[in-house]
Structure formats: structure tokens, C-alpha cells
Amino acid sequence: MSDLPQAIPRLLPGAPHGRVLVFAPHPDDETIGPGGALCMHRQQGDPVRVMVATDGTAGDPDSRFDKATYVQLRRNESRAGLCELGVDDVAFWGFPDNCTLSASDIELGVQHACAAITAMQPDLIYLPWRHDGHPDHLALHTIVMRAMARTNYRGEAFGYEVWHAMVPDVILDITKVIEHKRRAMRAHQSQLAYGHYDHCMLGLNAYRSLIHGRGQGYGEAFCIVQSRS
């Protein structure tokens, strides 16, 4: 293990301009992770498209909600949250979540991701970072990485954090849009019934202001998965 200190993450002057494609494991990760960035992209006129991989059915372990309408509920919450960020372009793959995936399952996901990249031709991709600590997040990271290679993607790719805090490469100041992100997370009432992740993520976003903002404001952390070639 190296004893060299980690480099201080670079402060992004703003959200990079361009066409944006977002891959989210569950209906809410697109808001919890890069929600502030997506709002900033839309405010500066960037096209943003979101791909939600799973149906989120494992998000109701105590069966508090009607099983027959739960998938639609999660999708409606996702759309409502994205609306708070200015995003109205979202697609749902509908894969089951919290499952052990076979090689054929991964391949099917790669095919979906390839189709999304080919259709969107993005300049920037957001995906879960490799060590986010949830098997669905790792699976989607793997899927998107393979799709990027298969489609010969040459744009940028940023990994975002949800479950595990990263040592980031860059920090984006999202202070001006933090209320949009707060409202977007609050749209997911079915998930807030189980835990106040909005409180936790806002705390992490506040912590991300420590280095460049002297602890004032909010930031989102990203690791650079791929630089523009």
C-alpha cells in the first residue's frame, strides 16, 4: 500500500458542457448521486437523458405499499424528482433489483447500455463508481464500462457516490442548486419511509465543501472514470 498522500481533488468551475447520459441502478440514485450536477447541466441548456436499470421492487422490504402498483410508484417518484432538476428524459429498463446476475444477465445489460450510448451520443456519462458498496451499483458500473468499450466511447465518464464515500478526483460546487436537489430527493417518499437518506446525502454534500469552500456550501464528488480522448 502506498503511503503517498492523496492529491487534493480539483474544483470544477461548473458542470462540463455537452450531451449528458446518466446510468442509475435504482429509481432515486440519479438524484442522490449526481442530482446537483444534472440540475446545473439543464440550467445551462445541456441535453440530459437518464437510464434507470432496475424496477426498485426490493425497496419495500416490509411490504408497506401496494405490490401491484409499486413499480409504477417508484417510476413516478423518479420522474417527479427529475422534474425538480429540470430533467424530463428518462427511460426505465425494468430489470429486477437485488439479484445475483449471471453472465447472460450482464450481457443483456451491456446491450441496453450500448443502445443508450449509440442513441444519445453523449459527451459525458455519469455512472456509479466502482466501490459504491451495493451489488446492483457494481453490476451497473461493470455493464456501463463494457458498453463504453464496445461502442468505442471517447467522451468523459464520471463516477458518482451514493452508498460509499469516495476519495474524489473532482468536486462540483452545487450550492446554487442544492434546494432543487433537496426537493428532488424528497420526491422519493417510498424510500424516505425507510430512512432519511436525503439528510445523509445533504450532509455528505456539505462535507464536500470543506476543501474548496472552507465548509460553506455544498459539493458533489466524482471520480474520473474516463477523460475525453
Residue range 51-90, pLDDT digits in tens? 999 998 888 889 999 999 999 999 999 999 999 999 999 9
Mean pLDDT check: name the lowest of 95-99, 164-168, 205-209.
95-99
Grid coordinates representing 179 are 434546494
- With beta carbons less than 8 A apart as the criterion, state whether 186 and 196 touch: no
pTM: 0.95
Architecture of domain 16-53+71-226: 3-Layer(aba) Sandwich (3.40)
What residues does each domain of the chain span? 16-53+71-226
Cβ neighbors of 4 (< 8 A, separation 6 or more) are: none
Grid coordinates representing 43 are 440550467
Grid coordinates representing 134 are 451495493
The pLDDT tens digits for 3-57 are 656 789 999 989 999 999 999 999 999 999 999 999 999 999 999 999 999 998 8
Give the three-class secondary structure for 161.
Answer: coil
Distance CA 191, CA 27 (A): 10
Give the N- to C-terminal CA distance of the chain in Å, as an integer: 30
Q: Which residues pair with 219 in a beta bridge?
A: 173
